[in-house]
Amino acid sequence: MIRHSRPFSKLFNLARPYTTKTTEATETSKILELPKATEPQELSQVFEVPKRVSPTHDIPVCNLQFRGYLPQQLDFYADFARRAAYHLGMPCSGTIPLPTQTSRWTVIKSPFVHKKSQENFERKTHKRLLQIKDAHPEVVDRWLKYLTMNAPAGVGLRATKFEFESLAK
């Protein structure tokens, strides 16, 4: 077991910048400016509803559908996707819950003649939808790549992108 002579907070104090004394005793010059510690007000924004960019023309660009078996995990990841869309400057709708798909099947418990003893199973697939409006296609592609890279296990994504072209030749 390793013991330090100084407390851990004195060894790694990230709240104050590193300083060194110059030739004058009263003046200090900052060598390395570290970022300030997060304020409690900023930390509380994690628990608030994500901010939104308001759409200008209401033209849908992408529909992103989340599928999974745990509704809490889908809501968490949809919240993450909305925050990522806000920071990329894309107008995003709220999380739209889609109908839950229930699949049931019955299996015989015994491998032989005991047909009367059966067991029922059920699987519920929950779905959520986000709609992106008025965004550039390259930004939407970058957002989708970011979401697929950071997707948790058990969450499926289905993206439908809409592209608009002119009719003139």
76 domain-assigned: yes
* Distance of alpha carbon 147 from alpha carbon 139, whole angstroms: 12
The CATH number that applies at residue 148 is 3.30.70.600
Phi, psi of 26 (to 5 degrees): -85, -25
Q: What is the pLDDT of residues 50-106, one digit of tens each?
A: 788 888 888 999 999 999 999 999 999 999 999 999 888 899 999 999 999 999 999
142 domain-assigned: yes
Q: What is the pLDDT of residues 134-155, one digit of tens each?
A: 888 999 999 999 999 999 999 9
Give the range of the structural domain holding residue 80, as residue numbers without chain letter: 50-110+119-161
SS3 86: helix
35 domain-assigned: no
Under 8 Å CB-to-CB from 130, ≥6 apart: which residues? 63, 64, 66, 78, 81, 82, 85, 92, 93, 95, 96
- pLDDT band, very low/low/confident/very high, at 119 (cuts 50, 70, 90): very high
- pLDDT band, very low/low/confident/very high, at 43 (cuts 50, 70, 90): low
62 domain-assigned: yes
Question: How many structural domains comprise the chain?
Answer: 1
103 domain-assigned: yes
71 domain-assigned: yes
30 domain-assigned: no
33 domain-assigned: no
Instruction: Quote the pLDDT of residue 41.
Output: 53
Instruction: Quote the pLDDT of residue 39.
Output: 42
